[in-house]
Amino acid sequence: MINGKLPVTWVKKDYFYISDWNTPKSLYHHADSSNITKKYYDGSSDGVLICNKIPKTFKNLIKGFKLKNTVAAINKLMPGQVLPWHVDNYPTYIKRNNISENQQIIRIIVFLHDQEPGQQLWIGHNLCVGTAGTYFGWGRGVEHMAANLSKTPRYTLQITGVDE
């Protein structure tokens, strides 16, 4: 598992007032095709929102991870939303970037604000907690989940890339 802390160079308005939120339609078609994943995450929920137009504030931060073929999004997980245990299989990312089986795909999640009680990220058996700037990451094939059981939206920066 990857873990660290970045200096916070952003303010709330850099992520909180985004107006270009999209509801993902195929994001939750994971390698884990369990019934619970299909039942709750078929793309019909408006509680999971993604913005692919990354504010300039985050561009250098993303470059600092030194990943190739980087794509990023800001995720907004509304209260009551759960992304059950799953393993990402990255089919679109692999196709668009011509990624081979032996290349290690890395996923990084950066907390954009101090974590509220009930906002969870689990990677394997590890509950990941932290304040704004804390980040966690994992490679292809690692089981993980996220939940927002708090009273406020959970904002994270998601970075996907290939290990250099």
75-122: pLDDT as tens digits: 999 999 999 999 999 998 999 999 998 899 999 999 999 999 999 999
Q: The CATH number of the domain where 100 resides is what?
A: 2.60.120.10
Distance CA 154, CA 44 (A): 19
pLDDT, position 52? 76
pTM for the predicted model, two decimal places: 0.86
**How far, CA to CA in Å, does 96 sit from each of 28, 100, 145?**
18, 11, 25
pLDDT (0 to 100) of residue 31: 39
Q: Which domain holds residue 72?
A: 2-163
DSSP 84-109: EEE----HHHHHHHT--TTS-EEEEE
How many domains, in total, are found in the chain? Answer: 1
- Give tens-digit pLDDT for 41-69: 434 345 677 787 888 899 889 999 999 99
Whether the predicted pLDDT of 35 surpasses 50? no
